[in-house]
Structure 1
Amino acid sequence: MTTKQGRLCGCRCTETTAGGKFRPGHDSKIVPQLEADHGSLLDFWSWYEEAMSTTPPPKR
C-alpha cells in the first residue's frame, strides 16, 4: 500500500517509508521473524519450496 509520504514498511511495523520498501534497518527484522514463525531458516526454506512447487511465483 502506498501513501502520499511513501508506502507501509515491509516489516509490517505499520510505519511509513520515505518511498522505499523498508524504514532504515527494518529489513533486518525479517530473518528473526521467519525463524520464529518456522523454527529455522532451513525449515522456512523447506516450507517455501514445497509451497512454490505447486504455485509458481507471480511474474513482475
Structure 2
Amino acid sequence: MTNNKGRLCGCRCGDTTAGGRFLPGHDAKIVPQLEADHGSMLDFWAWYEEAMKGQEPSKRC
C-alpha cells in the first residue's frame, strides 16, 4: 500500500490533496480543460484514439 498524502491535485491547480486524487470539486475541471485544449470532447476522443492506436489499454484502480 502506498501513502497518498501530499499528492498534487489531478486538475493541475498546484494544490495538495489530503490523500485523494483531487480536491473537492476539482475533478469537474477536467472536461472543460479537455474541451479547451482540443476544441470539443469529440475532437479529444478522436485525438485519444489516434494516440492510443496499437497500445493495450491500461487498467486503472
Deviation >2 Å, runs of 4+: 3-6, 54-60
Corresponding residue for 1:7?
Answer: 7
Matching residue of 1:19: 19
Stretches of structure 1 lacking an aligned partner (at least 5 in a row)? none
Contact 1:7 1:17 in 2 (8 A): yes
How many residue pairs get matched?
58
Q: How far apart are residue 6 of structure 1 and its match?
A: 2.6
Q: CA RMSD in A?
A: 1.9
Identity %, equivalent residues: 74
Describe the shift of the 1:30–1:4 C-alpha distance in structure 2 as closer, same or farther (beyond 3 A). closer
Give the Cα–Cα distance (whole angstroms) in 1 for the partners of residues 4 and 19 of structure 2.
9
Return closer, same or farther for 1:22/1:55 CA change in 2, 3 Å cut-off. Answer: same
Quickly say closer, same or farther: Cα 1:4–1:21, change in 2 above 3 A: closer
Q: Which one has the bigger helix percentage? A: 1
Please give the TM-score of this superposition, normalised by the length of structure 1: 0.82
